[in-house]
Amino acid sequence: MNKPYFTTILLFMVTVCQFIMYVELQGAEAVPGNDKDSDINVSAQGPAIFFEKPDFNFGKIFKGQKIEHIYEFENRGKDVLNIGKVKPSCGCTAAILTNNTIPPGETGAIKATFNSSTLSGNVTKSISVISNDPEHPSYKLSISGEIIEEVSIKPKNIDFGSVPLGEKRNKTVTIKSQTTPDFKIKKIISSKPFINVSMAEEKDGEYVISIALEHNPEIGRFSGGIYLETNSQRQKKVTIPFFGEMVGDITTYPKKIYYGFVTKGKELTHKLFVKINKDNIKILDIKTSPDYVSAEIVEEGEKDDHHYLIEVTLHAEAIAGKIGGLLELHTNSMIQPVVIIPLMGEIEEG
């Protein structure tokens, strides 16, 4: 065989080898964390924990259902396997071990109970098995699946958005059960007196609930919940959160500026966002106290995006002690001629 041919064949072989390796790496590869499928521990000198099926998928269940599963394992090593602890990753899973000490060649089991009452959607939770296996001191088991809400709520949260002072808002929520044919809502309560809640419609177990913001709270953000009691076996109690903000001519965020404990001599700046909700409203003047605090408008938006961005700086000259300052926005608004932002914090000696 002459040299050029031989070289060509070798190059071809190299290309084939590289191609095979490339093909092997295609597609989604799970990068193993436990070497679960490896048999490297079969004849290990020390203890060797081995789970045939470390991953359990419960498929689809309804929220509130509990799932039990037993993970069986074997000591494939030559010394006694001691399980120190079985540690679920979340409060939703409880795990009980049958026996802490497993002689070589013997088997053990971990009973896991998964409670879905606080979860929804696809979840993957894990359980760590802490043992004296030198190769796998913390073996990871997984429990996964999809949790479906038996009581379907649309929308899940009620966002009233920004509500001008004096205005009312109405929202509706549709509620039905995916399994209970004679689904009933037995009780509805609002957590806030300014939110009225009533049953607007009921047809074939599908309820439409009317949630009305009627009696105005004061300017500022508000939140709460609509509490329902149902005849669903799995979701007897359901809460629908609501939130929003009563706004005047001017909205500020945040309402207070907290500097916390600041070392004397340090300068610290916070941003204050001011949204103008009504045409022709403007900031006429900004005053700050004490004098080691200053405020500067660094951005001003107009028309549909009428806002100010103000930097409020605590300067290095601040004296030790509580700040207790104020930022005053003087405006041409009739209802909010002066908006006061308290400045909180304390200057500490360095």
Partner 1 sequence: MIRIIIQYSVLKTLIIVFVLLVLSNQNNDMLYGNETGKNLNETSEDAINIIFTGEENGYLEPCGCSEKELGGLSKRHSLINLLREKDANWILLSLGDIPGKVGRQDEIKMETALKALGRMGYAAHNIGEKDISMGLDLLGYLSQISSVDFVSSNIVNPGPQILRIKPYIVKEIKIKGATRKVGILGIVSPELIDNGYQKIEVVDPIESLEPLISKLIDKTDLLILLSHAEIGDSIKIAENYPEFDLIISGHGIDEPGLHIAKVKDTYVIPVGEKGKYLGTITMQPEFSRTDEDRPSTNSNLPSVEIISLDERFGDSTEIKMLLKIYQQRLRDEELLTQVFKTELPSNLSFIGNDDCAACHNKIFKHWKETGHASAYETLVKAEHEYDPECIECHVIGLNYFTGFETIESTPELKGVGCESCHGPGSAHKETQSKDYGKIDAVDCTTCHENEHSPSFEFNEYWQQIIHPLEEK
**Binding positions for partner 1, 275-314, rule CB under 8 A:** 275, 303-305, 307, 309
To which H or E segment does residue 124 belong? strand 121-131
Minimum Å gap between C-beta 87 and partner 1 is 7
Minimum Å gap between C-beta 157 and partner 1 is 5
List binders of partner 1 among 101-140 (CB under 8 A): 119, 121-126, 140
Report the alpha-carbon distance of residue 230 to residue 33 in Å, rounded: 43
Task: Provide the token pair at 258.
Answer: 């907290």
Q: Residue 206 or 253: which CB sits closer to partner 1?
A: 253
Minimum Å gap between C-beta 25 and partner 1 is 7
286 phi and psi angles, rounded to 5 deg: -125, 130
184 near partner 1 (CB under 8 A): no
Contact characters 239-278, partner 1, x per CB under 8 A = x-x-xxx-------xx-x-x-xx--------xxxx-x---
Report the alpha-carbon distance of residue 8 to residue 31 in Å, rounded: 36
Q: Residue 85 or 168: which CB sits closer to partner 1?
A: 85
320 near partner 1 (CB under 8 A): no
175 neighbors 207 (Cβ within 8 angstroms): yes
Minimum Å gap between C-beta 292 and partner 1 is 19
Q: Residue 124 or 332: which CB sits closer to partner 1?
A: 124
Q: Residue 7 or 101: which CB sits closer to partner 1?
A: 7
Residues linked to residue 66 through DSSP beta bridges, in sequence order: 115
Answer for which of 180, 223, 294, 313 binds partner 1 (CB under 8 A) is 223
Taking residue 304's Cβ as centre, other Cβ atoms within 10 Å add up to: 5
Minimum Å gap between C-beta 105 and partner 1 is 28
List binders of partner 1 among 15-74 (CB under 8 A): 17-18, 21, 24-34
SS3 state at 304: helix
The residue type at 148: I
314 neighbors 323 (Cβ within 8 angstroms): yes
Residues whose CB is less than 8 angstroms from the CB of residue 59 and which lie 6 or more positions away in sequence, other chains included: 145, 146
DSSP state of 303: G
